[in-house]
Chain A
Amino acid sequence: MPTAHIISKIAAGAIMALAGGATLAASIAQAGEIKSREEWKKEYARPAEIPFPEDNPYTAAKADLGRTLFFDPRLSGSNYISCGTCHNPSFAWGDGLPTGIGHGMTVLGRRTPTILNLAWSEQLMWDGRFETLEQQALGPMSAPVEMNQQMEAIVTELQSIPEYRTLFKVNFGDEGITVPNIAKAIATFERTVVSGIAPFDRWVAGDETAISANAKRGFDLFNNKANCVACHSGWNFTDDSFHDIGLASEDIGRGEQLPDVAVMKHAFKVPTLRNAVERAPYMHDGSAKNLFSVVAHYNNGFVKRPSLSAEVYELNLTDAEQADLVAFMKTLSSNDEQVAFPRLPPFDQTLAGSVSGVNTAAGKPDGTNAAKAATTSCGGFFQHVLPCNK
């Protein structure tokens, strides 16, 4: 039985036992929905497996190829920026900057979002302009201010590297290296990037010692008085919705995509709160320097305008309540294993003549790397968290 299934069964049993005997702090969320703490906890149970789309199913070899591409800077026009440059696993798959930095050190307008848990997401990017992860994978690559890659050129460039020819042949047969197949491989890898078991998950599974009393009070506030749950709901702490949260920014976000929808002006995608404490600064514009700043914003620091989300209103939280909310959010961070960077082909550069790797003489298509990839388990370094849904 996979570990995640075992954890799920333990959690379910523990929750049932607790629900029978514990004193339940029933409370009323906005608009009258009454749930106890134990009932709320059930809403945050982790899923049993990672979902993959029918038109791009999971294979270990494809995820491994995607991981190699994700960390390969030759996917950028400069051959200097990889997906992993901005989505850096050392910063919980962000970059730790207020807003991203792209091609030629261009300072971008929005903060780099984490790629954690995107297998469950739709309408990618802060403004939701990409429907699927496959579409999203190509967006930054081809954007002139981000990775500035000519998509026709990247196919030629990868074709010149024997190991890539072999890896694409293994995964996609005679189709080989194409732009859609590059996207499929990267998206498959990204779907395996899942935040691990956090203290909060252990608490939900029945370990009352896993989080502090302050954090438990913060959980109650999160689901009730502070109304965070209106958008940061479910195990991934986002419902993937779009809201104007009243940041003093000229950026209209989702309003560019849906100009006929009044409440989409200044609206941005609700991010996951998983591992949030590792991902400062916050908000789409990086304007909140820490989690206390985030809570202060939602308490009463937002701009009131016609497009302001109906779920954002003055909360009148005390300083102690705000501290409890931060204590709770800190319990959402998992102590994930360190991420190993892949070796990038060509592996034999004896005859290489270019740092870009554009050299057909470098290496032989001996399939060595493909054989290694095929034996990699689902999720690579995340396999301890979730099995993959084939």
Chain B
Amino acid sequence: MKLNIITFAATALLIASGTVASAAEVVVTQKAKKFDQKKVTINKGDSIKFVNADSITHNIHSRGAGKFDLGAQKPNTAMTHVFAADGTFKIRCAIHPKMKLKVTVK
């Protein structure tokens, strides 16, 4: 019984802080025709917010399994993609393919 009370209290605390079952969001910034990270590891259901901090247009794109295209992204805007399935995703800017990001979804 004592254990159940502790569990209940801990669960209530987590719900109050909003951390139970809530998906995380990772921010990746595009600047100087580069991603600010080369690799990102997230959990299934998490999302990545792609920020275009450049003065030119970018286009987040991934080929292969789970492929997606976020379309043209103007400067000083953000676009978000939710990774609903696990796997490894090779992401590039379709316009500037030297921009590469590897996303691992567990």
Binding site for B on A (CB under 8 A): 29-33, 122-123, 128, 230, 233, 239-243, 258, 260-264, 267, 309-311
Contact = CB atoms under 8 A, between A and B. Distances in A.
Interface stretch (B4-12, B14-22, B93-101): B93-101
Interface stretch (B36-44, B64-72, B80-88): B64-72
B41 to A, nearest CB: 24
A263 B96 contact: no
B97 A123 contact: yes
A144 to B, nearest CB: 27
Contact of A31 (B55, B94, B97): B55
A242 B97 contact: yes
Contacts of B94: 242, 258, 261, 263-264
B72 A262 contact: yes
Interface residues of B, number: 19
8 pairs of A and B residues whose beta carbons are closest in the complex: A31-B55, A310-B57, A261-B94, A241-B96, A123-B97, A263-B72, A260-B69, A241-B95
Given A260-B69, A261-B61, A310-B56, A31 B75 contact: yes
B67 A260 contact: yes
B59 interface: yes
Contacts of B98: 122, 239-241
A233 B71 CA distance: 23
Interface residues of chain A: helix, strand, loop or mixed (majority): loop
Contact of A311 (B56, B63, B69): B56
A258 B59 CA distance: 12
Contacts, number: 59
Interface of B: 33, 55-57, 59, 61, 63, 67, 69, 71-72, 74-76, 94-98
B69 A122 contact: no
Interface residues of chain B: helix, strand, loop or mixed (majority): loop
Given A241-B96, A243-B95, A258-B94, A263 B59 contact: yes
A310 B72 contact: yes
20 contacts: A31-B75, A33-B55, A122-B97, A230-B56, A240-B97, A241-B96, A241-B97, A242-B95, A242-B97, A243-B95, A258-B63, A260-B69, A261-B71, A262-B71, A262-B72, A263-B59, A263-B95, A267-B95, A310-B72, A311-B57
Given A31-B75, A310-B72, A258 B95 contact: no
A29 B54 CA distance: 12
A44 to B, nearest CB: 15
Nearest to B96: A241
A208 B52 CA distance: 37
A263 B61 CA distance: 12
A238 B6 CA distance: 62
B98 to A, nearest CB: 6
B100 to A, nearest CB: 10
A310 B59 contact: no
Nearest to A254: B94
Contacts of A267: 95
Given A240-B97, A261-B69, 9 more contacts: A29-B55, A31-B55, A239-B33, A241-B96, A242-B95, A243-B95, A261-B61, A261-B94, A262-B71
Contacts of B63: 258
Contacts of A261: 59, 61, 69, 71, 94
Contacts of B74: 310
Contacts of B67: 260
Nearest to A120: B98
A28 to B, nearest CB: 10
B38 to A, nearest CB: 15
